[in-house]
């Protein structure tokens, strides 16, 4: 009996949209249904499923590695939502909002694949569910008002601005569709645009006045306890917010000295004239990172089918500088590295090398592409991710860059990026555990990173919206570096080390370290 496969099959019955990733033929019949993921009925079905398998796994005397992973995830999810009512009152924010996901989907920048007429029909079927979904979001947020559990006011302002931008620019319209243009526009307007208008009307006229400028999990009842739990899940059991905060401060101090020395000798900033220049340069860097880094540190060859696409970030997602979208399991949707090309004159060419290592090969793209195409992992393992593993791996890959000693400009940006990850340890714990104000966070980031004000604002909102996620980069990287150094000291080869990491696949850091110890690899 494969418990994780059974779990995924039952999960699909609750949320058929996961087939956008799997593309299983036997699942296609229901893939047009978009469940109301904010409804009580959905929560109950999912919770009942989780409890069923949690109980089943609890009874097993000896759990396999895969079973332990599923058990760990179920344990976390069940108790998180049962113990903390905050999730019942704040269903969305500017980074987690199904309506915004559908904006990306509608213009072809999401997970949904438009190939034939039927795909467009299925998509229009799905968006009909957005009306009850929007109503449920508003209902929950109204309950939040009654119970005095509301979003940070600055976050509400961001959501309002995001919706206004989308509505003004009509980003939800595809230039070409394989069904009636009139039907497509009418349905999009009826089910997507109208619901966006309904949501913004509620936020402006009813919700806003009940918000304040307190933010972070610590502002809510049981928030600090909740944050501790999130920290342990995202890093290590027993690791505290205080310890992480201090790691960030300590490492930041060292990096600031290194940055100062590099800064003295920094050559002239090299910028771009237009969007095409940026995208062309990133294509060159893809080839360079394969030749300089991948070929010397990994087994196997990168073929044409293993390459990633490079695209400009869609306007509706211009809240971050760069990100990566993974391929589906049938490779109909290729892995894609997205970058903000809206201001070419502000981007320094020297910073894109380290970014390519992180997002592309051997970073996110290589790790996820290997997991999907070449590993022997089960469907459950292939679709499951862990931030500490994936972001830790991508940051670890930045250390493998071939930084020219005669021209340290690229290394200078590597140090700057590293400082940013250390700042994240300080700010994330500051927001959610130590009660830092927005102004204190802003000043700390400005003093240590010298980013543009708009960038700092976006980053602070991101950490507020995704508690604990920002910790995973540095803590994950430190784990990979620790394991590598121990493995090499014992006589292991670097290519073999990376192969072991790929074959183990995504898992919590505790379990990854345990594998190396139990198998006497370190």
- Buried residues in 94-107 as b, exposed as e (16+ CB within 10 A): bbebbbbebbbbbb
Contacts of 277 (CB under 8 A, 6+ apart): 344
- Residues 244, 121, single domain; the answer is no
Q: What is the pLDDT of residues 242-257, one digit of tens each?
A: 999 999 999 999 999 9
Instruction: Dihedral sign for Cα 433, 434, 440, 441, please.
Output: negative
- In-domain check, residue 271: yes
How is residue 284 written in tokens?
A: 């060159």
- Residues 185, 285, single domain; the answer is no
- Residues 203, 233, single domain; the answer is no
- Residues 213, 156, single domain; the answer is yes
Domain range for 420 = 229-473
What residue spans of 128-271 are helical by DSSP H?
130-146, 153-169, 181-188, 194-202, 223-234, 241-264
- Residues 208, 234, single domain; the answer is no
Is a pLDDT exceeding 90 seen at residue 91? yes
- Residue 465: closest CA among 166, 86, 68, 24: 86
Across 73-93, average pLDDT: 87
- In-domain check, residue 502: no
- In-domain check, residue 10: yes
- In-domain check, residue 109: yes
Q: What is the pLDDT of residues 6-20, one digit of tens each?
A: 999 999 999 999 888
Across 132-158, average pLDDT: 96
- Residues 286, 388, single domain; the answer is yes
DSSP state of 329: T
- Residues 30, 112, single domain; the answer is yes
- Residues 212, 256, single domain; the answer is no
Number of domains in the chain: 2
Contacts of 261 (CB under 8 A, 6+ apart): none
- Residues 152, 258, single domain; the answer is no
Is a pLDDT exceeding 80 seen at residue 280? yes
In order of 135, 292, 494, 520, the CA distances from 298 in angstroms are 50, 11, 8, 21
Say how far residue 361 (Cα) sits from the centre of its chain.
Answer: 18
Burial class (CB in 10 A: 0-12, 13-18, 19+), 35: middle
Is a pLDDT exceeding 80 seen at residue 88? yes
Is a pLDDT exceeding 80 seen at residue 331? no
- In-domain check, residue 494: no
pLDDT of residue 30: 62
- Residues 255, 213, single domain; the answer is no
Please provide residue 325's backbone torsions phi and psi, each rounded to the nearest 5 degrees. -115, 130
- Residue 69: closest CA among 59, 57, 60, 82: 57
pLDDT of residue 104: 83
Q: What is the pLDDT of residues 468-499, one digit of tens each?
A: 999 999 999 999 999 999 999 999 999 999 99
Distance, in Å, from the CA atom of 450 to the CA atom of 61, rounded to the nearest integer, reads: 54
> How much of the chain exceeds pLDDT 90, in percent?
75
- Residues 243, 103, single domain; the answer is no
- Residues 400, 297, single domain; the answer is yes
- Which of 49-63, 256-270, 278-292 has the highest average model confidence (pLDDT)? 278-292
Across 129-157, average pLDDT: 96
Q: Is the pTM of this model over 0.75?
A: yes
């Amino acid at each position: 009996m494969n418990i994780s496969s059974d779990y995924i099959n039952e999960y699909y019955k609750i949320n058929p949209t996961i087939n956008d990733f799997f593309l299983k033929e036997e699942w296609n019949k229901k893939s047009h249904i978009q469940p109301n993921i904010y409804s009580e009925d959905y929560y109950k079905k999912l919770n009942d499923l989780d409890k069923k398998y949690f109980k089943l796994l609890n009874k097993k005397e000896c759990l396999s590695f895969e079973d332990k992973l599923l058990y760990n995830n179920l344990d976390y999810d069940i108790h998180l939502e049962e113990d903390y009512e905050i999730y019942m009152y704040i269903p969305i924010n500017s980074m987690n909002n199904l309506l915004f996901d559908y904006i990306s989907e509608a213009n072809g920048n999401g997970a949904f694949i438009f190939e034939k007429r039927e795909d467009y029909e299925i998509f229009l079927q799905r968006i009909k569910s957005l009306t009850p979904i929007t109503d449920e979001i508003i209902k929950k947020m109204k309950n939040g008002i009654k119970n005095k559990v509301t979003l940070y006011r600055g976050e509400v302002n961001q959501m309002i601005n995001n919706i206004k931008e989308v509505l003004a620019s009509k980003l939800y319209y595809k230039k070409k569709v394989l069904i009636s243009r009139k039907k497509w526009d009418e349905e999009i307007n009826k089910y997507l645009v109208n619901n966006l208008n309904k949501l913004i009307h509620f936020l402006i006229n009813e919700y806003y006045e009940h918000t304040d400028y307190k933010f972070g999990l610590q502002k809510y009842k049981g928030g600090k306890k909740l944050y501790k739990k999130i920290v342990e899940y995202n890093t290590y059991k027993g690791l505290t917010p205080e310890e992480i905060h201090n790691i960030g401060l300590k490492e930041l101090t060292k990096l600031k000295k290194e940055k100062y020395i590099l800064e003295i000798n920094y050559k002239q900033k090299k910028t771009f004239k237009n969007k095409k220049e940026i995208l062309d340069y990133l294509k060159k860097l893809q080839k360079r990172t394969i030749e300089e880094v991948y070929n010397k540190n990994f087994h196997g060859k990168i073929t044409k089918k293993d390459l990633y696409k490079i695209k400009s970030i869609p306007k509706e997602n211009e809240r971050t500088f760069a990100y990566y979208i993974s391929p589906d399991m049938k490779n109909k949707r290729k892995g894609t590295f997205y970058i903000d090309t809206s201001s070419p004159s502000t981007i320094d060419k020297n910073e894109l090398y380290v970014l390519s290592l992180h997002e592309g090969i051997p970073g996110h793209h290589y790790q996820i592409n290997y997991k999907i195409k070449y590993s022997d992992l089960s469907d459950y393992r292939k679709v499951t991710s862990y931030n500490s593993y994936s972001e830790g791996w991508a940051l670890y890959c930045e250390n493998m860059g071939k930084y020219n000693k005669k021209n340290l400009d690229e290394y200078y940006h590597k140090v700057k990026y590293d400082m940013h990850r250390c700042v994240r340890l300080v700010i994330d714990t500051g927001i959610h555990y130590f009660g830092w104000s927005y102004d204190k966070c802003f000043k700390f980031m400005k003093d240590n990173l010298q980013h543009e004000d708009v960038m700092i604002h976006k980053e602070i909102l991101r950490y507020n919206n995704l508690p604990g996620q920002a910790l995973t980069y540095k803590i994950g990287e430190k784990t990979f570096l620790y394991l590598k150094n121990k493995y090499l000291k014992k006589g292991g080869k670097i290519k073999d080390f990376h192969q072991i990491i790929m074959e183990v696949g995504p898992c919590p850091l505790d379990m990854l370290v345990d594998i190396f110890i139990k198998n006497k690899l370190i």
